């Protein structure tokens, strides 16, 4: 369902006041968890998944039309592939998908020998590798890992002892990778070797426990994430009904963007012709769990404009 409801808001920005506009572009579009938005710069469309419904959604903001591709399994993320088609996190596997034929081809498995594990979020690095993290579906501590699918089809584990693998982003100079594990409520940075895909020197650059505006027990933690051209992180606050702009150099909260009537914000990405529109996804409910609708717009997709920031074109899988 495509709608055109807007809300003019005033953000909480440290030191100044700034107005922005929140539009509800899709209401009741997902029945479970809206996740992993990706702006396709080639087609000028928004991709995202309805996780437990096994659907890839493709929204055209010009026509207002949305196409849906149903797959058999839990979907953690979707990214375009340079040679055509898509790559998704399907259960525990990285998989290639042809939208027209609905053909699904598994590329690599993760977390071998485990049960009840799945890929939760994923994104491509500037060299066209796909990164995706796993988690145990009942949130068991330290059961997940962060993986990288290289362009030659090989897969490697980059980080273990992860609980709820989530947002990924790379700095404008491609020297730093940012990564979120929701459970400890922290945003991490790693030194990133763009040639090899190696990561090292993990440190905390955003700690929700130390930020008064985000330390409430209602804010369960950081979820999905994107980055702007100035290197600031924009982090979805699950349970907090907002997006936090964080300076990774200082760990300080620069701005808090409220999303009215939607509490469980899951992820964000930059989109639009000038990449200055922030698209925001949210959770409606998780089957067989306590994560059910608690706010009137949970499950909607939003577009935020007037933020005075923009992103870079999102990378795609080049394998």
With 0-12 CB in 10 A as exposed, 13-18 as middle and 19+ as buried, what is 114?
A: middle
The alpha carbons of the chain give a radius of gyration, in whole angstroms, of: 18
Q: Is 223 a catalytic residue?
A: yes
3-state DSSP of the chain: CEEEEEEEEEEEECCEEEEEEEEEEECCCCCCEEEEEEEECCCCEEEEEECCCCEEEEECCCCCCEEEEECCCCEEEEEEECCCCEEEEECCEEEEEECCCCEEEEEEECCCCCCCEEEEEEEECCCCCEEEEEEECCCCCCCEEEEEECCCCCEEEEEEEECCEEEEEECCCCCEEEEEECCCCEEEEEEEECCCCEEEEEEEEEEHHHCHHHCCCCCCEEEEEEECCCCCEEEEEECCCEEEEECCCCCCEEEEEECCCCCEEEEEEEECCCCCEEEEEEECCCCCCCCCCCCCCCCCEEEEECCCCCCCCCCCECC
Please identify which of the residues 121, 181, 223, 258 carries the catalytic annotation. Answer: 223
Q: Please give the Cα distance from 196 to 150 (Å, whole number).
A: 10
Q: Which active-site residues does the annotation give?
A: 223
């Amino acid at each position: 369902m495509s709608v055109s409801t807007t809300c003019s808001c005033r953000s909480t920005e440290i030191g100044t006041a700034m107005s922005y506009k929140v539009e509800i572009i899709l209401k009741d579009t997902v029945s479970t968890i809206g996740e992993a938005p990706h702006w396709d710069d080639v087609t000028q469309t928004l991709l995202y998944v309805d996780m437990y419904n096994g659907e890839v959604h493709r929204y055209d903001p010009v026509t207002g039309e949305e196409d849906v591709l149903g797959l058999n399994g839990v979907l953690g993320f979707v990214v375009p592939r340079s040679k055509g088609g898509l790559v998704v996190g399907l259960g525990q596997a990285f998989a290639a998908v042809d939208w027209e034929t609905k053909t699904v081809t598994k590329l690599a498995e993760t977390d071998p020998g485990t049960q009840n594990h799945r890929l939760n979020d994923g994104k491509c690095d500037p060299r066209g590798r796909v990164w995706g993290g796993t988690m145990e579906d009942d949130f068991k501590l330290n059961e997940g890992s962060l993986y990288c699918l290289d362009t030659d089809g090989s897969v490697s584990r980059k980080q273990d002892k992860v609980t709820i693998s989530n947002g990924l982003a790379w700095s404008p100079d491609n020297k730093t990778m940012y990564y979120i594990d929701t459970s400890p409520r922290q945003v991490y940075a790693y030194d990133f070797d763009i040639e090899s895909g190696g990561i090292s020197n993990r440190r905390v650059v955003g700690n929700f426990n130390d930020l008064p505006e985000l330390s409430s027990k209602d804010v369960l933690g950081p979820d999905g994430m994107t980055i702007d051209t100035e290197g600031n992180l924009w982090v979805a606050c699950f349970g907090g009904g907002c997006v936090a702009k964080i300076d990774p150099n200082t760990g300080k909260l620069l701005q808090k963007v409220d999303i009215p009537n939607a509490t469980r914000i899951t992820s964000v990405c930059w989109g639009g012709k000038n990449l200055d529109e922030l698209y925001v996804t949210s959770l409606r409910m998780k089957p067989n769990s306590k994560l059910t609708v608690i706010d009137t717009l949970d499950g909607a997709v939003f577009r935020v404009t007037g933020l005075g920031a923009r992103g870079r074109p999102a990378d795609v899988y080049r394998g």
